[in-house]
């Protein structure tokens, strides 16, 4: 990965933190150099600063998020209006369907899971809390892309499909269908044997002329199930997820209004 020459000193710190947060396990210097594109001397300076402030911890030459990063995560869980407004609806949807339900957002061309309610089945699909995947394929990614502002969506597609004009054209057509339908469905696009339906959640109420929500999505609710167990239930699962996302949107909008009143 080549570093963007426009990246500032402060952004280099964030680049290192983002790499550590999304990697899923401790990283060596070699790993971080490959992911961040920073020069080795620059990387060492950023890591030393982050270690001094407790954002990064080192063990035998491997680096991971430090205790202050954990404090940030705990603070997020406690204070996030989005998670707080979504958790009850997600729990009820998981109980009704007996499947896993996640709350996902789009950040830096990635889909990130903020909250996860696990299925009680021994065979279940899950999107681990904190896990990130490219904002390119799967129901979660397409639901988020479809309801992005036009410029943000086009910029993201430019980056994700820079060398694939055919794929870019195909996904643009699919995103148009998703906006019209109101939700995205996929099967085995990210993980083999996993079916998913994803519905946007809106912090602001807005309606288009076709009756579908036209505001920018704050997040999406995604239900995941083994493809074999979803077979024959797809529309029912989609309908339940749509109703849940709509109720979460209403709650989120009401609580946002109360906090700002």
**Six-digit token string for 32:** 């971080």
DSSP letters spanning 202-230: ESS--B-TTSSB-SPEEEEEEEEEEHHHH
Asked whether residue 32 falls in the same domain as residue 161, the answer is no
Asked whether residue 61 falls in the same domain as residue 93, the answer is no
Asked whether residue 44 falls in the same domain as residue 91, the answer is no
Q: Are 101 and 117 in contact (CB under 8 A)?
A: yes
Between the alpha carbon of residue 163 and those of residues 37, 131, 250, the distances in Å are 21, 26, 40
Q: Which domain holds residue 36?
A: 9-71
Is residue 4 situated within a structural domain? no
Residue 261, pLDDT score: 54
- Of the two residues 141 and 218, the one the predictor is more confident about is 141
Asked whether residue 115 falls in the same domain as residue 243, the answer is yes
Name the phi and psi angles at 202, rounded to 5: -120, 130
* Residue 38, C-beta contacts closer than 8 angstroms, at least 6 positions apart: 3, 12, 15, 16, 32, 46
Asked whether residue 92 falls in the same domain as residue 210, the answer is yes
Asked whether residue 21 falls in the same domain as residue 135, the answer is no
In total, how many domains does the chain have?
2
Asked whether residue 16 falls in the same domain as residue 115, the answer is no
Does residue 22 surpass a pLDDT of 80? no
181-211 per-position pLDDT tens digit: 999 999 999 889 999 999 999 987 655 434 4
218-228 per-position pLDDT tens digit: 899 999 999 99
Asked whether residue 51 falls in the same domain as residue 158, the answer is no
The model's confidence at residue 61, banded by pLDDT at 50, 70 and 90, is confident
Q: Are 34 and 13 in contact (CB under 8 A)?
A: no
Q: Which of 71, 103, 125 is the last residue of a domain?
A: 71
Residue 7, pLDDT score: 59
Residue 76, pLDDT score: 59
- Of the two residues 177 and 209, the one the predictor is more confident about is 177
**Six-digit token string for 44:** 């060492």
CATH number at residue 251: 3.30.450.40
Is residue 215 situated within a structural domain? yes
Residue 2, pLDDT score: 46
Q: What is the largest distance, in Å, between two alpha-carbon atoms of the chain?
A: 59
Asked whether residue 138 falls in the same domain as residue 167, the answer is yes
Asked whether residue 49 falls in the same domain as residue 85, the answer is no
Asked whether residue 110 falls in the same domain as residue 224, the answer is yes
Q: Name the strand (E) or helix (H) holding 184.
A: strand 184-187
d(CA 137, CA 257): 34
**Six-digit token string for 193:** 């044997």
Asked whether residue 66 falls in the same domain as residue 91, the answer is no
Is residue 237 situated within a structural domain? yes
């Amino acid at each position: 990965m080549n570093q963007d020459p426009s990246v500032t000193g402060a952004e280099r710190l964030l680049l290192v933190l983002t790499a550590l947060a999304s990697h899923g396990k401790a990283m060596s210097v070699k790993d971080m150099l490959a992911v961040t594109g920073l020069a080795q001397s620059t990387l060492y300076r950023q890591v030393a600063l982050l270690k001094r402030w407790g954002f990064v911890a080192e063990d035998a030459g491997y680096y991971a998020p430090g205790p202050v990063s954990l404090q940030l995560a705990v603070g997020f869980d406690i204070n996030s209006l989005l998670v707080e407004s979504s958790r009850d609806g997600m729990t009820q949807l998981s109980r009704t369907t007996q499947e896993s339900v996640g709350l996902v957002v789009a950040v830096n061309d990635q889909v990130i899971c903020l909250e996860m309610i696990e299925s009680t089945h021994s065979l279940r699909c899950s999107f681990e809390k904190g896990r990130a995947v490219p904002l390119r394929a799967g129901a979660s990614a397409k639901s988020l892309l479809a309801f992005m502002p036009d410029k943000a969506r086009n910029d993201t597609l430019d980056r994700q499909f820079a060398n694939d004009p055919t794929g870019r054209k195909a996904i643009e057509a699919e995103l148009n269908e998703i906006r019209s339908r109101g939700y995205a469905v996929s099967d085995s696009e990210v993980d083999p044997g996993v079916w998913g339906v994803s519905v946007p959640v809106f912090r602001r109420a807005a309606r288009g002329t076709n009756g579908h929500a036209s505001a920018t999505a704050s997040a999406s609710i995604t239900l995941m199930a083994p493809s074999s167990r979803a077979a024959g239930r797809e529309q029912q699962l989609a309908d339940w997820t749509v109703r849940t996302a709509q109720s979460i949107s209403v709650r989120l909008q009401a609580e946002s209004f109360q906090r700002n009143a």
